[in-house]
Amino acid sequence: MAERRKTRQITVGKVPVGGGAPVSVQSMTVTKTADAEATLTQIYALAAAGADIVRCTCNEQEAAEGLAIIVPRSPVPIVADVHFHYEMALAALEAGVNGLRLNPGNLRKPEEIKLVASEARDRGVPIRVGVNAGSLHPSLYKKYGGATPEALVESARMELAYFDEVGFEDVKISVKASNVPVMIEAYRLASETFDHPLHLGVTEAGPPPAGLIKGTAGIATLLAEGIGDTIRYSLTADPVQEARAGRQLLEALGLRERKSLDLIACPSCGRAEIDVIEIARKVQEALESRSLPLQVAVMGCVVNGPGEAREADLGIAAGRHKGHLFIKGKIVRVVPEDEMVEALVAEAEKLVTEGIDARLAAADAGAEREAEEDRMALFETRGSDVNQAAQRIKMIRKTVANEQEPQPLSG
């Protein structure tokens, strides 16, 4: 991971963005904002899934009125999404929102942009300049021959010029595109051009799994380069999936403290003694609902499983109709195969409550010995050299020796 790019810091509600603050996760409600109760229900679900900031559309007066009810009851800061009507931005500010998102491709009159910026400045409310390749100003599209990275960055630069005229600097920037390579290059250029915090996203990525792949390809690439201060997956799906994916990505990259399950599982092979895919599915279903911040392994082989997953907090490896339950690679008990999932879940809950040292101390006497007996029995059944490595090594040495022998000179 590259060192994170240094940016200015803004604050959205109580969430700092940029300036070395933890990368934050955003998502957007899909309810009608005018329906305050339905929108709040979704906001709480998004917050529980890992969203730090939530955006709601403000496209009509009723939506702004809904925001007035939503904002004080929300567990996370609320950003109003405004596209075409500057009056809706002003109304959202009156509703008490914690941030605005303006699309410079849609809100184009300089006097209106500057009026909104002035009002936001006076209230201490930040604005995201949300450039989108799909709604680029026609003049920029013509100038650059399309929605190029240069065109996207130029659009943000033009918007900032209007903000500068009224002394407004509390800004973050996004330059989103649905084309992943364009998105990546646009953000790289933006990081070289501005010192404002950047909001990352691949817009209109589509439904999972393809949408998740595209979003991850763009967002993770930039985060690994040290670019990005806040992120959003744009999926054609329940927005809870967006928030969960964002949180899991940051945890996987080591950019946020683990608060959710990290399930690792072998891809299965001929050595597997169980249906690894099905067991992993059951484990994930059981543990995700409990929101346990653990790395858990499901391995199909007792011979290599505990060693290969020794860094996991907790794991299970199957063999001879038994499950070897291990903590940090140490076998703590052996259970019948049909009790593996239940035993793993019970141990996970105890591990979170009591800690690793206490659970290692509570290991069953004789568990390691029984596990070793199972491993040796499998070796005897299948052989310790299932790939016939010894014979292959002899052939490799013979081949290399023959190639290295001096060859007779020709006539």
Residue ranges covered by each domain of the chain: 9-252, 262-382
pLDDT of residue 279: 85
Q: Which of 153-167, 263-277, 325-339, 391-405 comes out lowest in average pLDDT?
A: 263-277
pLDDT at 216: 98
Q: Please state, in angstroms and rounded to a whole number, the distance separating the CA atoms of residues 409 and 406.
A: 9
Q: Residue 338: pLDDT band by 50, 70, 90 thresholds?
A: confident
Q: What is the pLDDT of residue 268?
A: 62
pLDDT in the model for residue 46? 96
Give the model's pLDDT for residue 56. Answer: 98
Which of 3.90.1010.10, 3.20.20.20, 3.30.930.10, 3.40.50.300 would CATH assign to domain 9-252?
3.20.20.20
CA distance linking residue 25 with residue 5, whole number of Å: 18
- What is the spatial distance between Cα 80 and Cα 87, in angstroms, rounded to a whole number? 12
**Among 66, 17, 9, 13, residue whose Cα is nearest residue 229:** 17
Q: How far is CA 171 from CA 8, 168, 194, 359, in A?
A: 9, 8, 11, 48
Determine what percent of the chain falls in helix, strand and coil, rounding each to the nearest 5: 45, 20, 35
pLDDT at 144 (0 to 100): 95
Ordered alpha helix ranges (H), 56-147: 61-70, 86-95, 110-123, 138-144
Contact 316, 325 (CB under 8 A): yes
> Structure pTM?
0.82
* Confidence grade of residue 398 (pLDDT, cut at 50, 70, 90): confident
Token pair belonging to 168? 């407004």
| pLDDT of 322 | 82
Q: State the distance between the two ends of the chain, measured CA to CA, in whole angstroms.
A: 60
Check if the beta carbon of residue 84 is closer than 8 Å to that of residue 63.
no
Q: Which fold has domain 262-382?
A: Sulfite Reductase Hemoprotein; domain 1 (3.30.413)
In sequence order, the β-bridge partners of residue 177 are: 202
- The mean per-residue pLDDT over the stretch 7-35 comes to 97
At 151, the pLDDT band (50, 70, 90 cuts) reads very high
Distances (CA, A) of 119 to 54, 94, 127, 166, 219: 21, 10, 11, 10, 32
Mean pLDDT of all residues belonging to the chain: 90
Q: Do 355 and 362 meet the contact criterion of CB atoms below 8 Å apart?
A: no
pLDDT over threshold 90, residue 346: yes
383 pLDDT higher than 70: no
